[in-house]
Structure 1
Amino acid sequence: MNWTLEVVPVPVTDLDRAKEFYADKVGFKVDLDDEVAPGMRIIQLTPPGSRCSIAMLSGMPQAPGAGSMEPGSLHGLQLCVTDIEAARAELVDRGVAASRIQHVGATGWEDGKGETWNSFLTFADPDGNTWVVQEAPSELSER
């Protein structure tokens, strides 16, 4: 049996501001922006090339046992790209405050690219939810 991760909820305070950030600045595709019932809205966006989407909700009841997350409390979601320098340039050009590129070295985090699977940058959405971007090889056989 396959278990696929399809949707990750991202807690935000302002759906329209978050939609603009993720669509216009980060470059995610808007899959859905709909009021599914009176007062219940869902916006779903997908990173280019991904099967997994993010969803931002308002007015929706919590799933049993799901608990709730405060806006800005989601940290460390990870995206992978094949060219971290190009990804950083694209984010910065779109107005995202992306960190410098770093890698894990002998003394901890060090500036610049590392070897395969060891180049990272970070950014945050307007609510403070944080993302990690990692450079990954284009061929899975390199893993």
Structure 2
Amino acid sequence: MDWKLELVPIPVSDVERSKRFYSEQVGFAVDHDTRVGGDVRIVQLTPPGSGCSIVIGAGTGVRQAEPGTVQGMQLVVPDIEAARAQLVAHGVAAGPVQHLEDGTMAEGPGEPWNSFVFFSDPDGNGWAVQERPPGAEA
């Protein structure tokens, strides 16, 4: 039996601001932006090439953690330098390319599966972007 992760909620304080950040700056596709009743809004966004989406929302009945409390969400890309350049070009405050060395993060790319870029959304939810070696399955 396959068990596939489909949807991860990301707690945000301003749905419209977060929708713009994830779609216009990070490049996620807006799958749907739905209003249910008067005050409930659900926005689902998917990273390019991903089988898993995120959901942001607001209103009565939308239960979420405090905005900014999700840390360690991870995206995988084939080219870390190109991914960082794309984020920076779209106004995302992405950190430098780093790798894990002797238990701490060091500047520059590392060995296969050991090159990362970190960024946060406007609420402080933290993301890591990891480079996948050529030919490796994501």
What TM-score range do you get, normalising by the shorter chain? over 0.9
Alignment-mate amino acid for residue 122 of structure 2: P
Q: CA deviation at 1:107?
A: 5.8
Matches within 5 A, 1:1-143: 1-61=1-61, 68-106=64-102, 108-140=104-136
Work out whether residues 23 and 29 of structure 1, in 8 Å CA contact, stay in contact via their aligned partners in 2: yes
Q: d(CA) in 2 for partners of 1:62 and 1:96?
A: 27
- What is the CA–CA distance in structure 2 between the aligned matches of 1:3 and 1:106, rounded to whole Å? 34
1:60 Cα offset (Å): 4.7
Measured at CA, do residues 83 and 60 of structure 1 come closer, stay the same or move farther in structure 2, by a change above 3 Å? Answer: farther
Hey, what's the Cα distance between the residues in 2 that align with 1:103 and 1:12? Answer: 29
User: 1-side partners of 2:30 and 2:67: how far apart?
Assistant: 20
TM-score by length of 1: 0.91
Structure 2 residue runs of 5 or longer lacking an equivalent are none
Give 3-state SS (helix, strand or coil) of 2:83's partner. Answer: helix
Contact 2:40 / 2:60 at 8 angstroms: preserved in 1? Answer: yes
Specify the SS of the correspondent of 1:140. Answer: coil
For structure 1, which segment, 52-61 or 83-92, has the greater mean C-alpha deviation from structure 2 after superposition?
52-61
Gaps (5+ residues) in structure 1? none
Identity of aligned residues (%): 53
Q: Are 1:32 and 1:43, in contact at CA under 8 Å, matched by a contact in 2?
A: yes
> Conserved in 2, the CA contact under 8 Å of 1:41 and 1:60?
no
* C-alpha RMSD of matched pairs (Å): 1.6
How far off its partner does 1:72 sit? 0.5
